[in-house]
Amino acid sequence: MNPLELARARPDEAFTVTFDGRPLAVLPGQTAAAALWAAGVTAWRSTRGTGRPRGVFCGIGVCFDCLVTVNGRANQRACLVPLRPGDEIRTQEGTGRDHE
Amino acid sequence: MVGAACAWYAARAGLDVRVVDRGPVAGGTTGAGEGNLLVSDKEPGPELDLALLSARLWAQLGDELGTAFEYEPKGGLVVAATPDALTALHAFADGQRSAGVVADPVRADQLPSLEPHLATGQAGGVFYPQDAQVMPALAAAHLLRASGARLHTGRTVTGVLRTADGTVAGVRTDRGDLHAPAVVNAAGTWGGDLAALAGVRLPVLPRRGFVLVTEPLPRTVRHKVYAADYVADVASDSAALRTSPVVEGTAAGPVLIGASRERVGFDRSLSLAAVRALAAGAIGLFPFLERVRALRTYAGFRPYLPDHLPAIGPDPRAPGLFHACGHEGAGIGLAVGTGQLIAQRLTGKTPELDLTPFRPERFESCEEHETSGDSEDFKDHDTDGGDTP
């Protein structure tokens, strides 16, 4: 069953953000991690040492594994960042600052 | 860390070693440190001699196990903001050089080649190539594993076993007794409590410090960099908050920012004043940090003894008891020298450094007339200890 039905949620209208340039539909209140998961994306960062894929681990802001670049700012915890219409989410490579 | 180093060197000397820790490995001050192995912040004297011995031993361990615990012999850079501070720093470095420290003066115009992102307008600095860094929790864990010592974590020492003549015969724990002819007190900031279980006084006090951790960055800060006034803060006896910027990159990416010192007991609550001062000081040294986010902060308690020297060696008040604690903020660096000296003493060899300045009983005379209530307490403990079979 759709979790929205389980929770009897009546969210406002969906809006659009982009992930690496591709549009994603987001419900108001969803974090970057929730929106990415809902779209079937489970990895959006590569590790600093060996470039291995990472996504949500703890989901509550503690582990810093789900870091992602949102609107040009790297190292944000996807599980805590609420999305707004037009936000640009990008896959983060390493520290996300290698090109500064 | 000190306990792990004692276990490593004692096991290498052929002794059968058990390590008892009431928490996990690196669960106390070790896990809250930055992993500094410094000679640069020490004035000539017994602590510097121990630091130089330790620097040599860390370099050997670095060859054997270094990649496992991020040993980086990257050197330290001490920066003076004003001509007066630079004069004082040069005088300090002259003294250190005569004690065997390599200290290379760095002119203001040479600073950018060492640290490209350092704030401009500094008067100059001194570079210390013997300074190094490890990741302390990994270093403690790997040394323990490599030592082959049997490890009992989550096991609390509740008493020190003494024979009828007072000789130490092992420890009592919450999960049974461990018999041993020698007991090494490497309980760090809690070393005074362990000493009290043996009926002896060792006035170890906690000196709190915060570390601010930034988001991971590409290697931007190359050395351990700190302001010249750090040395004065370390040596001070003040209980009030003192901060001086100490900045270093890590192999994992985050930049660590210290160092605050204050004596507030074992209070773990966040001090906004302390972390604000740390951030401001670090930005003063490295302006780019203003655009970098701090992810978190952690606090730890340095084991502080009144004369800023550790207690290392046998305790004549409790034969069979050895102390290896009270290294204040230098315990990671000084751990290996301490472990080596303890192992030499345990196996009846002459320690390669004179242990007289580190005598654990050196506080006895000055404190007896200070607080009579305390010595009463310790007489009680002594009686308890004597009753233990």
Using one digit for the tens of pLDDT, what is the confidence trace for B209-230? 999 999 989 889 999 999 988 7
Choose one of B238, B270, B303: the last residue of a domain: B303
In this structure, the number of other CB atoms found within 10 A of the CB of residue A49 comes to 10
pLDDT of residue B138: 95
Q: Looking at chain A, which residue has its C-alpha nearest residue B288?
A: A100
Cβ proximity of A69 and A89 under 8 Å: yes
A51 within a domain of the structure (yes/no)? yes
Per-residue pLDDT tens digits for B153-195: 999 999 999 999 999 999 999 999 999 999 999 999 999 999 9
B49 within a domain of the structure (yes/no)? no
A3 within a domain of the structure (yes/no)? no
Cβ proximity of B286 and B119 under 8 Å: yes
From start to end of chain A, where are the E strands?
Answer: 15-19, 22-26, 45-46, 53-54, 67-70, 73-77, 88-90, 92-93
Do B109 and B217 share a structural domain?
yes
pLDDT of residue A98: 66
Per-residue pLDDT tens digits for B15-38: 999 999 999 999 999 999 889 999
Do B294 and B232 share a structural domain?
yes
Average pLDDT score, chain A: 91
C-beta atoms of A95 and B252 within 8 A: no
pLDDT for B236 beyond 80: no
In this structure, the number of other CB atoms found within 10 A of the CB of residue B119 comes to 15
Query: How many percent of chain B have pLDDT more than 90?
Result: 81
Nearest Cα of chain A lies from the Cα of B214 at a distance, in angstroms, of 10
**Does the beta carbon of B252 lie under 8 angstroms from any beta carbon of chain A?**
yes
d(CA B137, CA B150) in angstroms, rounded, equals 18
Per DSSP, what are the bridge partners of residue B336?
A: none
pLDDT for A91 beyond 90: yes
Run of H or E residues at B318: none
d(CA B337, CA B330) in angstroms, rounded, equals 12
CB pairs under 8 A between A and B: 20
User: Mean pLDDT lowest for which of B156-170, B246-260, B333-347?
Assistant: B246-260
Do B336 and B197 share a structural domain?
yes
pLDDT of residue B369: 44
Q: Please give the radius of gyration of chain A, using alpha carbons only, rounded to the nearest integer.
A: 14
B248 within a domain of the structure (yes/no)? yes
pLDDT for B357 beyond 50: yes
Per-residue pLDDT tens digits for A49-60: 889 999 999 999
Do B232 and B102 share a structural domain?
yes
Q: What's the rounded mean pLDDT across residues B276-290?
A: 95
pLDDT of residue B120: 94
A30 within a domain of the structure (yes/no)? yes
pLDDT for B335 beyond 60: yes
What confidence tier does B372 reach under pLDDT thresholds 50, 70, 90?
very low
B246 within a domain of the structure (yes/no)? yes
Give the CATH number of the domain where residue A41 resides. Answer: 3.10.20.440
Number of domains chain A is built from:
1
Average pLDDT score, chain B: 90
Look at the alpha carbons of B128, B129, B131, B135 in this order and tell me if their dihedral is positive or negative: positive
What confidence tier does B383 reach under pLDDT thresholds 50, 70, 90?
very low
Do B253 and B377 share a structural domain?
no
Nearest Cα of chain A lies from the Cα of B129 at a distance, in angstroms, of 26
For helices B2-12 and B331-346, give the axis angle rounded to 10 degrees.
Answer: 30
Nearest Cα of chain A lies from the Cα of B217 at a distance, in angstroms, of 6
Tokens describing residue B216: 């991971």
pLDDT for B388 beyond 80: no
C-beta atoms of A98 and B252 within 8 A: no
Do B288 and B213 share a structural domain?
yes
C-beta atoms of B253 and A95 within 8 A: yes
A55 within a domain of the structure (yes/no)? yes
Give the CATH number of the domain where residue B270 resides. Answer: 3.30.9.10
Q: Distance between the two ends of chain A, CA-based, in angstroms?
A: 45
Do B284 and B341 share a structural domain?
no
B48 within a domain of the structure (yes/no)? no
Tell which wins on pLDDT, A62 or B179.
B179
A6 within a domain of the structure (yes/no)? no
A38 within a domain of the structure (yes/no)? yes
pLDDT of residue B230: 75
A23 within a domain of the structure (yes/no)? yes
d(CA B47, CA A79) in angstroms, rounded, equals 47
Number of domains chain B is built from:
2
Choose one of B243, B269, B303: the last residue of a domain: B303
Choose one of B242, B276, B303: the last residue of a domain: B303
Nearest Cα of chain B lies from the Cα of A39 at a distance, in angstroms, of 27
Per-residue pLDDT tens digits for A15-57: 999 999 999 999 999 999 999 999 999 999 999 888 999 999 9
Do B110 and B82 share a structural domain?
yes
Per-residue pLDDT tens digits for B267-278: 999 999 999 999
Nearest Cα of chain A lies from the Cα of B244 at a distance, in angstroms, of 27
**Does the beta carbon of B293 lie under 8 angstroms from any beta carbon of chain A?**
yes
- ipTM of the shown complex: 0.73
Report the residue from B253, B293, B295 with minimal CB separation from A48.
B253
Q: Identify all chain B residues contacting A74, using CB atoms and an 8 Å cutoff.
A: 215
User: Mean pLDDT lowest for which of A76-85, B183-192, B291-300?
Assistant: B291-300
The Cα diameter of chain B in Å comes to: 68
Cβ proximity of B257 and B151 under 8 Å: no
The Cα diameter of chain A in Å comes to: 45
Do B145 and B16 share a structural domain?
yes
What confidence tier does B243 reach under pLDDT thresholds 50, 70, 90?
confident
Q: Which of residues 53-92 of B touch A (CB under 8 A)?
A: none
Q: What's the rounded mean pLDDT across residues B107-122?
A: 95
Residue A74: which domain range?
Answer: 11-93
Do B219 and B186 share a structural domain?
no
A99 within a domain of the structure (yes/no)? no
d(CA B31, CA B300) in angstroms, rounded, equals 8
Exposure b/e, B137-173, CB count within 10 A at least 16 = b:
bbbbbbbbebbebebbeebebebbbbeeebebbbbbb
Residue B267: which domain range?
Answer: 76-129+206-303
Do B244 and B334 share a structural domain?
no
Q: Looking at chain B, which residue has its C-alpha nearest residue A49?
A: B252
pLDDT of residue B67: 80
Do B296 and B283 share a structural domain?
yes
Please give the model's pTM, rounded to 2 decimal places: 0.85
Report the residue from A64, A75, A97 with minimal CB separation from B218.
A97
pLDDT of residue A1: 64
